[in-house]
């Protein structure tokens, strides 16, 4: 997803990802309107203040994976040859992204994400 070079950057990325995963898991289990920032922080084994250093709210933590995937797709589109048409460019970029596979085999991201899609509490943030 994101390429990090230094130890500090890798730790930040790992913390951000842990918070996102905790938020997503709790939202799927309990519903997004029943989780709190404190619960997400506890599940990720960090403080509430640490959560606030990474995300402005639980919605941002929930959609962090979407943001990463969109950024990666945009980067892949930019890497495609200029002579390709728009549809071919997007198709090739999407295929590369699909092959990279961001999913946990035990609980694919898309399955968890689909369970939250269209939830009224998240509609504004989506």
State the CATH number of the domain containing residue 57. Answer: 1.10.357.10
Domain count along the chain: 1
pLDDT one-digit tens code per residue, 36-65: 999 999 999 999 999 999 999 998 998 888
Residue 126 lies in a domain: no
pLDDT one-digit tens code per residue, 78-102: 999 999 999 999 999 988 888 886 5
Residue 124 lies in a domain: no
Q: How far is CA 4 from CA 9, 36, 56, 76, 109, in A?
A: 6, 29, 22, 18, 22
Residue 109 lies in a domain: yes
Residue 98 lies in a domain: yes
Residue 49 lies in a domain: yes
Buried b (16+ CB within 10 A) or exposed e, 53-75: ebbeebbebbbbbeebbeebeee
Domain that holds residue 22: 7-116
Q: pTM for the complete prediction? A: 0.70
116: closest CA among 28, 1, 34, 16? 28
Residue 87 lies in a domain: yes
């Amino acid at each position: 997803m994101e390429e990090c070079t230094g130890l500090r950057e890798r730790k930040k990325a790992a913390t951000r990802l842990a918070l996102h995963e905790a938020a997503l898991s709790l939202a799927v289990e309990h519903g997004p309107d029943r989780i709190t920032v404190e619960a997400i922080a506890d599940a990720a084994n960090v403080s509430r203040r640490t959560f606030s250093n990474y995300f402005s709210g639980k919605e941002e933590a929930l959609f962090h994976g979407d943001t990463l995937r969109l950024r990666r797709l945009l980067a892949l589109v930019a890497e495609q040859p200029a002579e390709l048409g728009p549809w071919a460019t997007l198709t090739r970029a999407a295929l590369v992204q699909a092959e990279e596979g961001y999913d946990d085999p035990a609980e694919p991201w898309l399955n968890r994400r689909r369970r939250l899609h269209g939830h009224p509490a998240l509609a504004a943030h989506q």
